[in-house]
Amino acid sequence: MRASRLLSLLLLLQSRGRMTAPELAAELEVSVRTIYRDVEALSAAGVPVYADRGPAGGYQLLDGYRTRLNGLTSEEASSLFLAGLPGPAAELGLAEVAANAELKVLAALPPEPRSHASRMRERFLLDVPGWYRTSDDVPHLSEVAEAVWEQRPLRMTYRRWGPRDVERVIHPYGLVLKGGSWYMVAALSDGPPGGDPRTYRVARILTVETLPGRFSRPEGFELGGFWRAYAREFRERMYTAEAVIRLAPGRGDLLAYTMGGDVVGAALAAAGEPDPEGWLTLTVPVESVTHARWLLLRMGADVEVLEPPELRALMREAVAELGKLYE
């Protein structure tokens, strides 16, 4: 275990350059004191690692030093092919490049890791879009991806919800594939330096033009951290109301499928004891009473809305209309 960690520490310094002890500790999920001991062990083994003191200091390798201890284990080689997504690679214009890279990695592997990797490719497939939907049509994705990579500003015509078309000049920071849809994270070019990035659905870009020059990415911006915070805030903004419902016995899985597993799971955990008939009273967050009406009607007679009164009234009206239709 420690040998693997020492190798990971060495490869981190080789690939990223100077890193502080807290940064290394966070990457390797150990304490800072453990990093101190590991650096001493590397130095004792003859690895030319040294420390720069001061606020801007950290550990780094002697210039020009490269380790040859970068061979892949069987599991690591297999994971590379599990992470391959041929559909998104093709959308980015990298299908042939990705296929060639896969062949080269296979050819370079020793027999045992190559066998593991080949079995992984043969027996596991990642299909990103959900059921009953197709991936977005993204004709401008490759141009956007090139601008992200080259740090080129873009002028685009974008269809906002409404619909309403707007023109924007942006600095694209990154691309995210979420549930089969591509999203671009970008900042307005005329905004303050390092201003808050926004998200744009790439399928809603109508026209795009790459502009001359290059922009500078804000220092400290990290795409994964931004997206996680954005997704969390999006969910918090999305749920603006609550509904109190009674749920029939054994229908928790159906409600979770209808309203979302995380939302219903939290509501079930907070629920009290069932009534004598086995029904549970739950408080669930909803986007709006009209949206909740549409969702809960799918549950049929397995759910009764107790509050708010306006949602209960909407359910009553819908049931009455259905009764007239099927008389």
- Cα(33)–Cα(40) distance, integer angstroms: 11
pLDDT at 85: 62
- Cα(288)–Cα(119) distance, integer angstroms: 48
**Residues in contact with 15: Cβ distance below 8 Å, sequence separation at least 6, in sequence order:** none
- Residues of the chain below pLDDT 50: none
- Gyration radius (Cα) of the chain, Å: 27
Which among 90, 89, 84, 78 is positioned nearest to 126, based on CA atoms?
A: 84
What is the end-to-end Cα distance of the chain in Å, rounded?
71
Helical spans, DSSP H, in the chain: 2-16, 21-28, 32-44, 74-82, 86-91, 95-108, 111-123, 141-150, 223-238, 252-259, 261-270, 289-297, 309-325
CA angle, corner 59, sides to 58 and 64, nearest 5? 130
- Cα(176)–Cα(174) distance, integer angstroms: 7
Tell me the pLDDT tens digit for each residue of 39-54.
998 888 888 888 887 7
CB 281 within 8 A of CB 244: yes
- Beta carbons within 10 angstroms of residue 303's beta carbon: 24
Tell me the pLDDT tens digit for each residue of 250-294.
999 999 989 888 889 889 999 989 999 999 999 999 989 999 999
CB 184 within 8 A of CB 236: no
Name the pTM for this structure.
0.62
pLDDT at 122: 73
pLDDT at 74: 63
pLDDT at 69: 55
Could you state, in order of their start, the residue ranges of all structural domains in the chain?
A: 1-61, 74-122, 140-236, 241-326
Question: Across 109-222, where does the E strand assignment appear?
Answer: 154-160, 164-178, 181-188, 198-201, 205-210
Q: Side chain identity at 245, as an amino acid letter? A: I
Calculate helix-pair angle for 95-108, 111-123, nearest 10 degrees.
140
Which 8-state DSSP code applies to residue 66? -
CB 22 within 8 A of CB 9: no
Strand order in the sheet with 303-307: 280-286, 241-247, 303-307
pLDDT at 144: 94
Q: How far is CA 240 from CA 157, 237, 284, 288, in A?
A: 31, 7, 11, 6
DSSP-derived pairing of the beta strands 154-160 and 205-210: antiparallel
- Cα(305)–Cα(247) distance, integer angstroms: 9
pLDDT at 75: 64
Q: What is the dotted CATH code of the domain comprising 1-61? A: 1.10.10.10
Per CATH, is 140-236 categorized as 2.40.160?
no
